[in-house]
Amino acid sequence: MEGSDDEEWDHDAIMETLRRTRKEMDWDNRPWEEHPMFMQQMPEDIADNPELQAIQHMMYEDGTPESRAENFKEQGNKCVKRGKDFYKDAIIFYSEALDQNCENAELNSILYSNRAQVQILEKRYNWAVQDSKKALEVNKGNAKAWFRLAKSYNELGKHGEAADALTDAKEHISDARLDEEIKRSRRLETEVKVRLAREKAAREKQNAILAEALRIREIKMGLPILDISHYSNATTVGQDGQVHWSVLLVYPEVEQTDFLADVPENAQLSDIVEMVLEKPAEWDPDHKYKASDVFLAFMSDWSPTVTLAESLSLNSEEVQERQKAHREAGRAGGWLKAASGAMLCDVVSSPGYIVPTLPVFYVMRKKCDFTRKFLKKRTI
């Protein structure tokens, strides 16, 4: 860290403060871990620890804002040197130093820059970007802040911003590393653009193959009926020529789900259910959900039909608006029971089924009051 030196606090004075407060604070009947002598790290809130307050007053309250900020900075630097278990303490000390509101712009820039470095060590790169920028707002000649800003951008994958920052730095600092680091960031930026372009081309090719497979099978695609943003839909056409679906099983009675990433279209629904329910889930300790005691249900026409491209690209607000219009128009159908002996392809290609981006089946228990009441509803 910048500005570190070997200055130490008056150890004898600190010990005297601890001895003076021991009797009045009844340490014989309080947890020893709360005593400053045995603390592993500085708590964020010392309001309930008079000893720490007394020590802090003795160590920091006297002197100018600049000297207090320097003292806090030195403690932060020492925490960094002690390793990762003390990084959060270092951030607290640098923040306390900044709170002294000293008017030394160079010192304040170092404090922000030092805190940015700890944010980098903690892999909190967005915070590191903010602290690096603040360091440069008060002192554009802070070379370390420029390089920490660029490193944070690179770690976030924002290589163009990193190169731009280092280019701007050349107007304020002279450093032999700048040109090489700019080249490196530009190279990373180009590599990312090439990779993303290749991924997009591959994705478009796969989607075109999938769209043709769906057309041949007369499968209708629709919009999501549930929030599936946290699932990775990997529906594709495999090398075997089959459509491999991502499938979502919903257990409405217990508000749970199972996401199956890769289910070939010729898989029997009974086999899927048997595989998933072979062992009880954590949320089903009594194993009420057994393959023999459930059936799969879906709603016919529960979504407006869209192209495959639309089903993959519409944002959540657009989906909600179109689903609402579909329901208000009374176009949603009724609940249907999937035949246990049917294959997945039989269901998704049936006339009444519209695939809501990925196949969704509701797992319902037989002879259950909840099931009877749930299936009376026309909408989900």
pLDDT tens for each residue of 253-301: 999 999 999 999 999 999 999 999 999 999 999 999 999 999 999 887 7
Q: What is the pLDDT of residue 20?
A: 53
> Domains along the chain?
11-188 (1.25.40.10), 220-374 (3.10.20.90)
Indicate the helix (H) or strand (E) that contains 262: strand 256-264
- Other beta carbons within 10 angstroms of residue 59's beta carbon come to 18
CA–CA dist 333, 302 (Å, integer) = 6
Name the pTM for this structure: 0.61
Q: For 6-32, give one letter per residue: b (16+ CB within 10 A) or e.
A: eeeeeeeebeebbeebeeebebeeeee
Helix (H, G, I), strand (E, B) or coil at 87: helix
Closest CA to 70 of 84, 80, 56, 60: 60
pLDDT on residue 228: 75
Bridge partner residues of 223 (DSSP): none
pLDDT in the model for residue 361: 93
How buried is residue 114: exposed, middle or buried, by Cβ count under 10 Å (0-12/13-18/19+)?
A: buried
- The full DSSP string for 16-73 is HHHHHHHTTTTGGGS-GGGSTTT-SS--S--TT-HHHHHHHIIIIISS-HHHHHHHHH
Instruction: Supply the angle between the helices 105-121 and 125-138 in degrees, to the nearest 10.
Output: 170
CA pair distance 348, 214, nearest whole angstrom? 10
d(CA 189, CA 146): 18
- Helix 159-169 and helix 143-155: axis angle, to 10°? 170
Which stretches of the chain drop beneath a pLDDT of 50?
A: 4-12, 14-15, 18-19, 21-25, 27-28, 37-38, 58, 380
In the numeric block, which tokens belong to residue 163? 């190169």
Find the angle CA(164)-CA(166)-CA(167) to the nearest 5 degrees: 60
The per-residue pLDDT for 378 is 53
| Neighbouring residues of 149: CB distance < 8 A, sequence distance ≥ 6 | 116, 128, 129, 132, 133, 136, 162, 165
| pLDDT for the residue numbered 322 | 76
